[in-house]
Structure 1
Amino acid sequence: MATDSAGRERAFKETFDYDATKYADGLMPHILHLYGSCATRHDFDIYAANASFEDPLMCARGVKQIKSAFYSLPKLFKESKIVEYSVKEYMVSPGNGEILIDNKQYYNFLGRNINMVSLIKLYLEEGKIVRHEDWWDRKPITNRETAKVPFLGRIAEMTRRGSMLATHVLMRFGKDPSV
């Protein structure tokens, strides 16, 4: 009897792990488009309506601000892309959990090549990304919880929000580019 339940448990785990991997495989082309400066409006369908995106420069809230953040990349960089990555998944149930993308990014800014190591953290609920964090150099984003001085962390948060709002205005409030 113990063998039977153990066998069923293993079969369930194998099926569940397969579904999680299959799900991440479906997300990765969209993430690569976003970071590769070739995103289309369909690449943002992976986000929940109230999703957030945060990196050390910006804090976007909602899909329109996330669009502004990624649509601004080709305006800043001659080239941008994820050149290497590995994926780890921690799903608590189908469509709910966390996906970690350990990656190397490449940017060309004013003729200068920039290579950067990053950890992208995607938090999923009901199959949609609700939070997208990009930890440069794999370091947590500075905020009131992570800073040694909470007041300085709060200033960093406000600076990221201000940067995002300025970008959002310049990028026409997340309007999709005409094709």
Structure 2
Amino acid sequence: MSTSNIPIENTNIKTAPGVELDSAQKTIVGSVLDLFAGRPSLEKLSLWSDEGVFEDPITVARGRKQFEAQWYGLQSAFSEIERLHHQVTSAGNPISMELKTRYVVKGIGKEQTISSIVNIFVDGQGKIQKVEDKWDGKLPESGIANVSLTSPYTWYRYAEGWAFWSWSLVWYTRLWMAFRRLNAVTVPKIIGVPKNKEEDRQRGN
């Protein structure tokens, strides 16, 4: 798959000692860093398989309609997104990297810093099959447990007031798993994804 004509903003990819990325991997990683920076575009998302998956502690977005809305939602939810650190630690499949990002919520100015391990899985055609964003290196496990909604992590508004993002230090419940699925289904109904490059351009992407 030729990706040389896709404009990637993050081209200075930092890698751990001994880790080397080929040109296709650099494009993939750069595009994912752009997405986490709130800089999506239809061209960058063309690097994803139509059946691709994005998963983090608050959503499991399956398929193009769901994962595109999640990435465009960052532009709606946050007034500032600042990358504090990134480093690719593995050039395998998945490509793994450490990521630390500061977010400022639109309208209320609340800051939240998230440190995560990001895994990028690529399919046989060289397209992104799945991206896992593991906050503090963790994703929820399915099963029954007790959830603490009074953890030190801050609740903050997601997708123009639709819901709240939250994170628990230890425990998850089936109710929380249902919330993650609901997030993936509901966000596309709220967040408009550009229909073409011209609409993308008008958004500044």
Q: Which residue identity lines up with residue 87 of structure 2 in the other structure? A: S
Matched, 1:134 2:130: no
Cα distance change on mapping 1:176 and 1:79 into 2, 3 Å: farther
Unaligned 5+ runs, structure 2? 1-18, 147-171
Deviating beyond 6 angstroms after TM superposition, the runs of 4 or more aligned structure 1 residues are: none
- CA offset at residue 90 of structure 1? 4.7
Paired residues of 2:54 and 2:62 also in contact (CA < 8 A): yes
* Equivalent position of 2:66 in the other structure: 65
Paired residues of 1:68 and 1:175 also in contact (CA < 8 A): no
Q: Which residue identity lines up with residue 36 of structure 1 in the other structure? A: A
- Which of 111, 115, 123 aligns to 2:121? It is 123
* Equivalent position of 1:25 in the other structure: 26
Q: When the two structures are superposed, what TM-score results if normalisation uses the length of structure 2?
A: 0.66
Cα distance change on mapping 1:52 and 1:128 into 2, 3 Å: same
**Greater helix proportion:** 1
Q: Distance in 2 between matches of 1:148 and 1:129?
A: 32
Q: Distance in 2 between matches of 1:176 and 1:37?
A: 18
* Aligned 1:1-179 pairs, distance under 5 A: 20-91=21-92, 97-109=93-105, 110-126=108-124, 127-139=126-138, 141-144=139-142, 153-172=173-192, 174-176=193-195, 178=199, 179=202
Unaligned 5+ runs, structure 1? 1-16, 92-96
Q: Which residue identity lines up with residue 25 of structure 2 in the other structure? A: A
In our comparison, the structure showing a higher alpha carbon Rg is 1
Q: Distance in 2 between matches of 1:68 and 1:49?
A: 13
